[in-house]
Amino acid sequence: MGSREKLPPTVTLAVTRYRPEEESEPTLQTYEAPYRKDWVVLDALNYIKDKVDGSLSFRWSCRMGVCGSCGMMVNGEPKLTCAAFLSDYLPGPIRVEPLQFFPIVRDLVVDMTDFLHKLKKVKPWVVREEERPLSEGEYRQTPEQLDIYKQFSMCINCMLCYAACPIYGLEPGFVGPAAIALAQRYNLDSRDIGAQERLDILSGKDGIWECTFVGECTKVCPKNVDPAGAIQQYKLTGAAHWFKSVLLPWGRK
Amino acid sequence: MSAEAHYTRYHPQWYRRRVSVWWWLQSWRYTKFVLRELTSVFVAFFAVITLWQLRALVDGPQAYTQFVRGLKSSPLVAVHGVAFLFVLFHSISWFHLAPKAMVMRLRGKRVPDWVIVGLNYFAWLIASGTIAWLLLRG
Ligand code: SF4
Ligand code: FES
């Protein structure tokens, strides 16, 4: 911990620029931003956009770790830039790049269509055969039933886990950590009956078996969702299901 | 979705970075993962040696003594040493990953990770103890 007087007055950020109408490849541009003890990388980016270079593009919204839109690579690691304090990266320069493995649209903005597409495929909603009429009241759950899936429901779709996953980089078809964790969130919900429908996607060619348990998704997740855990747990379920359907004639459904 | 987009005035031209063959050298954590995966080669190595040993055993005492003599050659001892280290790394890293895959619940509460890891070590100790006892007794 440096003493207060020794704090650097500014910090250097090396930021990825990509302007498709001007250049065919991303380049790095360095900016200076004032250093403040309570500033995060996103504050510095906003300072740059406001005071230095209005053409710099990046996504953000809540600046409090809730919306999941400010994910970028900070010094090579996927981070929510609204939660990455400048003080943790001193003396700098701090490298800020768009999330790895996603196509870059412009500067720090990546295209997330692929993720949204996959998310939809695993049906991340409560599947019911038939909705109960409103007059019958709400669907009740005990605290224990809630506890079983709660951790997986904390996901904010920030895609940091995809940027941490080398498998996703190598096999872009892989359904990926967050989508599987969210599928598991609904599979484990006592009100849901969609597990069978999700099984085809999850245990298919691009599903859980692509995962070799690198474990990085869990390490970078800002919400402690533990997608790696969700996938391994699902592997057990998937394997049990497979054994049942192959070995027991009456196990087929 | 793998449809390639082409740049028009209204459609952005994406830039895709190719993943290098050396991605696993990019950070120590990826390297550790690849090493962990490599350890399975050594686990297979031990399995093959054991099968081989069984075959020698079935072929009679002479074949077996020859096999054991073969094992004592110094290059093989060195290979075994290295393989042992890798297998140790393999077991320990998997023990610590076990609680991620196995969620056990006791009376509605999730069993803490260290208990599951501990159970793995315990089982290991018992298995090794039994084998050591079988080999060293008498
Ligand atoms: S699982 Fe975690 S890292 Fe992945 S998208 Fe959800 S919140 Fe982000
Ligand atoms: S700006 Fe919303 S999570 Fe960072």
Q: A-contacting residues of B 67-96, CB under 8 Å?
A: none
Mutational test site, ligand 2, from A82, A157, A223, max ligand atoms within 8 Å of CB: A82
What pTM, to 2 d.p., does this model score? 0.84
The whole-number pLDDT of residue A84 equals: 96
- The token pair that represents A78 in the structure block: 């996927």
Instruction: Provide DSSP, B22-91.
Output: TGGGSSHHHHHHHHHHHHHHHHHHHHHHHHHHHHHHHT-HHHHHHHHHHHTSHHHHHHHHHHHHHHHHHH
Place of tokens 């009679």: B60
The answer to whether residue A155 is domain-embedded is yes
pLDDT at A233 (0 to 100): 87
**ipTM attached to this prediction:** 0.71
Q: What is the mean pLDDT of residues A178-185?
A: 95
Report pLDDT for A204: 84
For residue B71, the enclosing domain spans 1-97
Q: Which residues contact A121 (CB under 8 A, 6 or more apart)?
A: A175, A179, A201
Nearest ligand to the CA of A67 is 2
Mean pLDDT, residues A154-182 taken together = 94
- Percent of chain A scoring above 70 in pLDDT: 95
The residue out of A66, A90, A110 marking a domain boundary is A110
For A103-148, the pLDDT digits (tens) are 999 999 999 999 999 999 999 999 988 888 889 888 899 998 999 8
Report whether residue A60 contacts ligand 2, using a CB cutoff of 6 Å: yes
Assess whether A20 and A76 both reside in one domain: yes
Domain that holds residue A7: 2-110
A224 occurs within a structural domain: yes
* pLDDT, mean of each 10-residue run, chain B (138 residues): 54 80 87 89 90 90 88 87 89 84 74 87 93 88
**Does residue A58 have its Cβ closer than 6 Å to ligand 2?**
no
The verdict on A224 and A206 lying in the same domain is yes
Listed residues A87, A110, A133: the one ending a domain:
A110
The pLDDT-based confidence of A4 (bands split at 50, 70, 90) is low
List CB contacts (< 8 A) between A24 and chain B.
Answer: 15
Please choose, from the candidates A26, A94, A42, A70, the residue with its C-alpha nearest in 3D space to the C-alpha of residue A163.
A70
Specify the higher pLDDT residue, A2 or B25: B25
CA torsion sign, A69 to A73 to A79 to A82? negative
- Atom 2 in ligand 1: which residue has the minimum CA distance? A221
**Which atom of ligand 1 lies nearest, measured to the CA of A164?**
3
CATH number of the domain bearing residue A101: 3.10.20.30
Do residue A57 and residue A166 come from a single domain? no
Of A22-36, A76-90, A169-183, B26-40, the range with the lowest mean pLDDT is B26-40
Q: How many domains does chain B have?
A: 2
The residue type at A192:
D
Chain segment A53-70, per-residue pLDDT in tens:
999 999 999 999 999 999
Check whether residue A60 and residue A9 sit in a common domain: yes
Q: Share the mean pLDDT of chain A.
A: 90
A157 lines ligand 1 (CB under 6 A): yes
Task: Check residue A26 and give its pLDDT.
Answer: 94
**Smallest CA–CA distance from A144 into chain B, residue:** B108
What integer pLDDT is reported at residue B7 of this predicted model? 58
Q: Is the pLDDT of residue A175 over 90?
A: yes
